[in-house]
Structure formats: structure tokens, C-alpha cells
Amino acid sequence: MKRVPFLDLSAQYAAIREEISSSLQEVFESVSFVGGPFVESFEKDFAIFCGCGNAIGTSNGTSALWMTLLSLGIGQGDEVITVPNTFIATAEAITFSGARPVFVDAEERSHTMNPVLLEKAITPKTKAVIPVHLFGQPADMDPIMEIARRHGLLVVEDACQAHGAQYKGKSAGTIGDAGCFSFYPGKNLGAYGEAGAVVTNNPDLAEKIKILRDHGQSRKYYHQVVGWNGRMDGLQGAVLSVKLKYLPAWNEARRKNAVLYSSLLSDVEEITLPSEMDYARHVYHLYVIRTPRRNDLKSYLADSGIECGIHYPVPVHLQQAYRHFGIVKGTFPVAEKCSEEFLSLPMYPELTGEQIGYVATELRKKLRLS
């Protein structure tokens, strides 16, 4: 039996092993373990990669979101609008800022924030919006920005799954007031541990986040505000600098894999393929199909040695963590249906055409035979 893992980080490591080793060696030799030149150098490169004025390295994507909200002055008594079909970190960051997450449903085709519903959810307490660039495809930013500006709202992009994705030619994360990235190992740009970043064209915001991530100081032991420890470490900065050079090629490989999947599955009626919207350059952090027979298919594929994922089995508003909000099932029908129908097929740059062919063949076999 063949085996197709959902994700294979060792294939990528094997290709860059020497470069990684020598860059880690440099960090060891210079004992620059937290912040310092390797982080600063990565920040500079990542800002250029995004076409953005500033990038601030952080401890992870969740802290990037949280520190951005705090630095924008969001807190107690405020409402921040986001989607329920996201990783819970988006909502956690809002909750831990002191504000209340307010959910609006996704669009049927893009699975990202529905701008019409966004406008309806705005109240006098609303301070900010966090669209999520889910699975590597940017949300429809033009109408979201237009509505936000008209109502005086801040926009923070959750670009944790969208490194290098584009919206009408602009880099994901650079359209709103700030964009937040995660470099969790499995993301399109992944560290060898925990890391994240905020990008922004607002230099004052960048300065505030830098101070907040370093115990409220810009000069050692002189603390202007009560801050936090949200810094990136030197080893991660060095690893990310090496890997950033390859990100365009890796994203291209993901796109090629997606095209192959879609061509092999386009005539299968029981499944809905992911669609790349006209405004988007999708970077396929995940390749997610929809099928009413999701659970069935997942276990059949597992029996054939194909490992799939579910992103996510429970939308945020129905998680136990947010049960006290009292939001009943049926409130967000698109997000809820997605949680029942989404199936993430194996996706990473090193996936071979043969492996994709095998996944497609097995999928077709199951749908025809039973």
C-alpha cells in the first residue's frame, strides 16, 4: 500500500539541511538567542517580501494578533468582528484583548468573510474587523475595507495561512491597518519552533508593537508601559531567513499541485473543489474539498494510506470555550455546513504528481463503488 502523509516537513528539511545548519551555527557562534541581528534581518526581508513598510517578529501568530489589537487600543467594552470558520486563535486574541468577538458567516464560494453580513453586524461598540485569509486565499478586501472605513473601524488581517497570497496584486496582510502571520512549522513559511510576525505600513503602530512585545521598553529596564514577552528568538529568525528565499517557489509548487488535483477531480459530482476567486492569488496552505460524505471518505482514504485533515470540525461559535455566548446551532449556516463537509487533502510543495494521482484515483474509486 502506498502512503501519502497529510504533510511532510522532513522532505523540505532534507532539501535545505546544509543551509539551515550553517545559519543555526552562526546564531550559536554569535549567541544571539532572543531578538538581535538574525530577527532584525528576517524582519527586513519579510517586510520587503510583503511590500510593506514594517515587519515585527513575534513569539507566534496568536501573540501577533493579540499584541496588534492591544496596540490599536482595543479592549474592554469593544466588539471585534470576525468569522466562525477559523482556527480558534483569531477569537482568542480578541477575547484576551478584553474585547468581545462577534461572528459573521462566510460566503458560500470563497469561505471567507461575507461583507454584506459584516455591515449588518456593526454596532456602536464595534472597533475592528479581522477577516481571515482562510486556507491561503485572501478574503474579499475591497468591500471589507470600504465598509470598515465608512464606519471608522480598524482592519487587522489574519494572514496566518496566507504567506505570499495576493488580493488584486497586493500582498495579503498589507491591505488593512495591520496583517498578522504565523510561522508555526506547518504553515507555508514555517519556523523550527514557534514564531509569528505583524506587518504594517503605520510606523507608530509598528513602534507600539515593538515596545509591547519587549516588556514595554524601548531602552533596557526603562518600561514605558506594561508590556509582555512576545519576542521572536534568534534561531527562528535565522531559519526563517533561509526559508523565505524558497517561499515563492514553494507556493508555486502548491499552486501546481492544486491545479493537478482539480483537473483530476473536476468531473466528480459529489465533491466541490476549492475555487480561486477572480481577485485572489491562492497559495493553498490547504487544499480543501467539500463533500456530504466527508467522514466516510476520510476513513476510506485512511485505509488506503492517505492521511487527510479536517479544518475545522467545530466552528468557533459552537466550541465549548465559547458556549457561554449562547450562540445556537443554525446561526451561521455556511460555517456550520463547512465544518461537516470540509476535507483537507494532503498538500505540501514536495507532494509528487504520482501521489496526487493516487489520492484522486482512490477518491474516485470510493465514490463510484459504494
Ligand X SMILES: *Cc1c(COP(=O)(O)O)cnc(C)c1O
Q: What is the binding site for ligand X (CB under 6 A)?
A: 60-62, 86-87, 89-90, 132, 158, 160-161, 182, 184, 196
> In the complex with ligand X, which residue's Cβ is closer, 343 or 356?
343
Q: Compute the least distance from the CB of residue 132 to ligand X, in Å.
A: 5
Please tell me what DSSP assigns to residue 328.
P
Q: How far apart are CA 145 and CA 153, in angstroms?
A: 9
> In the complex with ligand X, which residue's Cβ is closer, 177 or 362?
177
First to last CA, the chain: 21
Q: Compute the least distance from the CB of residue 298 to ligand X, in Å.
A: 20
Adjacent-strand bridge partners of 306: 4
Q: Compute the least distance from the CB of residue 159 to ligand X, in Å.
A: 8
Q: Compute the least distance from the CB of residue 358 to ligand X, in Å.
A: 27
Q: Compute the least distance from the CB of residue 93 to ligand X, in Å.
A: 8
Q: Compute the least distance from the CB of residue 248 to ligand X, in Å.
A: 20
Q: Compute the least distance from the CB of residue 61 to ligand X, in Å.
A: 3
> In the complex with ligand X, which residue's Cβ is closer, 61 or 315?
61
> In the complex with ligand X, which residue's Cβ is closer, 78 or 157?
157
The C-alpha cell at 261 is: 488535483
Separation of CA 245 from chain center: 19
- Do the Cβ atoms of 251 and 276 come closer than 8 Å? no
> In the complex with ligand X, which residue's Cβ is closer, 198 or 363?
198
> In the complex with ligand X, which residue's Cβ is closer, 54 or 182?
182
**β-pair type (126-129, 154-158):** parallel
Of 136, 109, 132, nearest to 252 by C-alpha is 136
Q: How far apart are CA 303 and CA 289, in angstroms?
A: 19
DSSP 127-189: EEE--B-GGG----HHHHHHHHHHTT-EEEEE-TT-TT-EETTEETTSSSSEEEEE--TTSSS
> In the complex with ligand X, which residue's Cβ is closer, 183 or 358?
183
Q: Which residue is nearest to ligand X (CB)?
A: 61
SS3 category, 274 = coil
